[in-house]
Structure 1
Amino acid sequence: MTRSTTSDPAAGLETPVVHASPAETARLFDALDSEACRAVVQALEDGPMTAKELQAAGDIPLSTVYRCVNELVDTPLVEETTRVSEGGHHASEYSRPVETLVVSFGMEQTLHADDAPVLKLTL
C-alpha cells in the first residue's frame, strides 16, 4: 500500500489516502468480512487495547482476537505498538488510526465535512 495525502482547502481538511493493490484490497475486505474482526475494529473506537482487553470488550475468545489482530495489522485499519508497564511486562497494544473508511473507485475530492480522521482507500 502506498500512502499520500489529499487536501480540501475549502473544508480545511487533509485526508490520508491509501492506494492498494488488488491483493492488499482483498486482504482488507477479507478481514472486514469476519464478524469477529469487525467487532475488534469497533472495540478500538474506545482507544488502544491489548488482546486481553479486546477479548473482554467483545466477549471474543482470545485465540480469535489474536487471529483478527494479525489480519488487521496488515491493513491500514489497525496499528500495533508496545505498551510498556512499570513492572517490566510489555504487551502489544492495538489502535484504530482512523474514524472513517471511504472506499472510492475514482478520484473523489470532497470526502468528509468534519475534522475526524478519514482513510480513503482508492481502488
Structure 2
Amino acid sequence: MRRSPRNISIALAVISITIATAGVAQQSSAPLSAQTAMQDVAVNQPERPQVGERISPENLHRISRPGLYGISKSPDGSDYGVLEGRLIRYDPHTMQVQSIIREVDQILD
C-alpha cells in the first residue's frame, strides 16, 4: 500500500472515529461504575446517627472524661458519647442526639 495523501487521510479518519467511539463508550459506563461504587460504600458503612434520632443506650459509650476527647464539660441537659465511631452530644433523659461532633478512632475513657 502506497502512502498517498488520500490513504493517510483515510487512516487518520479511521483512527479518529475509533478514539471518539472509545471515549463515548467510556463515558457511558462511568456513571454506572460510580453508582455501583457508591452503593457498595452505602451497604458496607454502618448507619450514621442523625440529629434528633433516639438512640439505644446499649449502643452508646457514655463519655466520663471529655477532656480526653478535647472537649470541655457538657452543657446542662447534655452528655457526650461515642456512637458508631462518632462523638455525639445527646440528651440523657430522652436519649435524642443533639449534635454530631466528629468521628473518633477509638474509645479513650
**Would you tell me which structure has more helix in proportion to its own residues?**
2
TM-score by length of 2: 0.22
TM-score by length of 1: 0.20
Tell me: higher relative CO, structure 1 or 2? Use CA pairs within 8 A at least 6 residues apart: 1
